[in-house]
Structure 1
Amino acid sequence: MKTAYVKVPFQFKFEDVPVPKCGSNEALIKVMACGVCGSDMNAARVEAQDWQSFGHEITGVVMETGENVSNVKVGDSVLVESGSYCGTCAQCRNGRPDLCASGTGLFQWKICGFSEYMTLDKQCLIPFDPEKIGYAQGTVIEPMGVALDLFYTTDIKFQDDVAVVGLGPIGLMALRLAKAAGARNVYGVVRNRKNTARIKLAKEFGATDIIYTDETPLEAYPFPAGGVDKIMVTAPPSVIASTFRAANLGAVIAYIGIDYGDRGTISFDANYFHYKKLQLRASYAVPALYFPRCMELIADGVIDVDKLVTSTFPLEDLEKAMCTLRDDKEKEIKMVMVRPELL
């Protein structure tokens, strides 16, 4: 079978490797689709110092199961959790599976989603109906879980004014969740007007307005209440401190963005932060939770995943797709690798 590998800086290769054998607690799946995530872009830019397999937003079909696998069967269509909790450690038993560090997932995978086949622990597999949610659309459920974790971490309430910094797929879904939860005003915040597709969808998802920080700094925007009550940051950490000046008294700022080296460090006036009674919270959706809730959000029409998937491509065009996202992403929101029969 073919599998793709990535290495800094934006180098890609395909290798023919044996189809993996599944263990007693695993299933072999035929990968039907795999979405390109921001973390895949980070791997190509800075993370992958040596060749590594990649891709974790996956849907597939079960081809074989180990002897201890009973939650899925051959022929089932499945969503793949990028990380699962173990269910037996102290954190899980104390009711905090979100803090489990003992589960299986992406960091243990030898072959990842930009491949024709892969083996996965049974805990990672969730059956779904591809007639209701297509294979390409199903790949959005993993990042939707990330957006939902950010939404829960921010603790958005009815009539809150909310700013969402960064309008990638996760930011767009977080914006939609805030609006659906009854936020009064939800503002999308981006650097410029370049990505017209994402800006258009933010408006369709209910954005009150789009703030372009190259034209109007966030703290200079004329918010009706002087600022916002909740801020969700899906951009690099360097922007976090700049959001404090747009925060109302007692505001919550939650973030998921990452960066490396000096760019992963922020500094701010602690006295200002203290006297405004601000809270800064980290959202980190590992293990990957909320897949059933995300399927409900799609079924109930809260989030239209068809609008998020803007391009599909075959595995052999992976490098072209990644470079498009790097160099010319004006029209792209979510790019998904799919099997040829789905094109």
Structure 2
Amino acid sequence: MLVAELIAQRQFRFTEIPIEDPGPGEVQVRVNAVGICGSDLHSYAEGAIGDTPCEYPMVLGHEPAGTVVKTGTGVGGWSRGDRAALEPALYCYHCEFCRSGRHNICANIRFLSNPGTPGFFREFVNLPVSNLLAIPPELSLELATIVEPLAVALHSLKFAAIQPRETVAVFGAGPIGLLTIACLKDAGAGRIWVVEPVSHRRELALRMGAAAALDPTHLDAARQILSDTARRGVDCAIDCAAREDTTNAAIRAARNGGRVVLTGIHSAAFVPFEVSPMRRKELAIFNVRRSCHESHEALSMLTSQMSSFAPLVTHTRPLHALPDAFTLTEHYADGVAKMVVVP
């Protein structure tokens, strides 16, 4: 099968490797579609995700959907041709965190696309049957790639704990930010501000339900939000961009006793935070680690609101055009929102 390996920063190599049969309890899946995530871009452009360096060669991609090819022994309920969204995380199920239901912080987690565990920019994959979610016939495989990032957005809302009509500021309108806006509207949030420098992303954010879209290259977004709220600030600020300036703007934009949710992944291992306003306002700061048992909810939400989510998938590219797909996505070119690779 064809595999795309990242062998250095901004450099892919295409290679053929054998396809192994699925083991007991596993399903072999033809990978039909994989979304490019912001963390893929970190690995590609920076050679690391935060303080975790790439280990070359490695296979990226963790927002997959595909079609069942064959099943291993002991697998029932799945047949050749069945379509599925694929969970990219493998848990140990016996550590203290798994036993308490917090599988996303499993002490022995393996995440497909992290160093040592190849991701989905390849033609076939063998996965435990529990990592497959059946998708309905009306949902395209390309749109099904949104299940994984939508689950992340839903997980972030567990920390945001939005009450009806509460105000929210979302920093960053990449795919995670846009999905967060959709989840906020679904949760009954009131006015939503989005802060995003890329014009076509601001437009998409308004379509997804934001009431105001601010360009931080032309104004102080936190100051504008404070002005719009009569100096009160928003009930919750969610940073999906993960930059020093966006995190600190989120801190400044939150009200006294408010919540700040850090969904995005910072490129730097150490980031200066404005601790004085955090303390004075007694803010609750939450970090988000992928998702935890939200995938079925994400699939249900996606299926019931397909027309709302469909505009997010703006581009597709074949696997052999992966370098072009990454370049276009990295530079926000051609109005790209979500890029989906079709192996």
**What's the TM-score, normalizing by structure 2?**
0.89
Please give the residue correspondences for 1:104-253 in structure 2 after superposition, counting only pairs within 5 Å.
105-106=111-112, 107=114, 110-129=117-136, 131-190=137-196, 192=197, 194-196=198-200, 198-221=201-224, 222-226=227-231, 227-238=233-244, 239-253=246-260
Residue 30 of structure 1 contacts residue 117 of structure 1 at CA under 8 Å; is this kept in 2? yes
SS at match of 2:266: coil
User: Where does residue 280 of structure 1 map in the other structure?
Assistant: 285
Task: Provide the C-alpha distance between the structure 1 equivalents of 2:25 and 2:109, rounded to a whole number of angstroms.
Answer: 13
In the TM superposition, what is the alpha-carbon distance from 1:20 to its structure 2 partner? 2.4
> Which residue, out of 60, 77, 82, partners 1:76?
82
For the residue of structure 2 that corresponds to 1:175, the secondary structure is: helix
Displacement of 1:237? 4.0
Tell me which residue corresponds to 2:296.
292
* Structure 1, 94-103 or 120-129: larger mean CA deviation: 94-103
Q: Distance in 1 between matches of 2:332 and 2:278?
A: 38
Query: Is this contact kept in 2: 1:163–1:188, CA < 8 A?
Result: yes
Distance 1:120 1:144 in 2: 21
Partner residue, 2:6: 6
Partner of 1:27 in structure 2? 27
What is the distance in 2 between the residues matched to 1:38 and 1:94? 29
Root-mean-square deviation (CA), in Å? 2.1
Whole-Å separation in 2 of the counterparts to 1:285 and 1:3 = 25
Query: Structure 1 328/243 Cα, relative in aligned 2: closer, same or farther at 3 Å?
Result: closer
Gaps of 5+ in 2: 49-53
Q: Output the CA distance in 2 between the equivalents of 1:272 and 1:110.
A: 40
Structure 1 residues 302 and 32: alpha-carbon distance in aligned structure 2, compared to 1, 3 A threshold: closer
Stretches of structure 1 that go unaligned for 5 or more consecutive residues are none
Amino acid at match of 2:336: E
Q: 1:8 touches 1:43 (CA, 8 Å); kept in 2?
A: no
User: Aligned partners of 1:108, 1:213: CA distance in 2, in Å?
Assistant: 34
Moved more, 88-97 or 8-17: 88-97
TM-score, structure 1 length as denominator?
Answer: 0.89
| 1:90 CA drift (Å) | 3.4
Q: Is the 8 A contact 1:173 1:303 kept in 2?
A: no
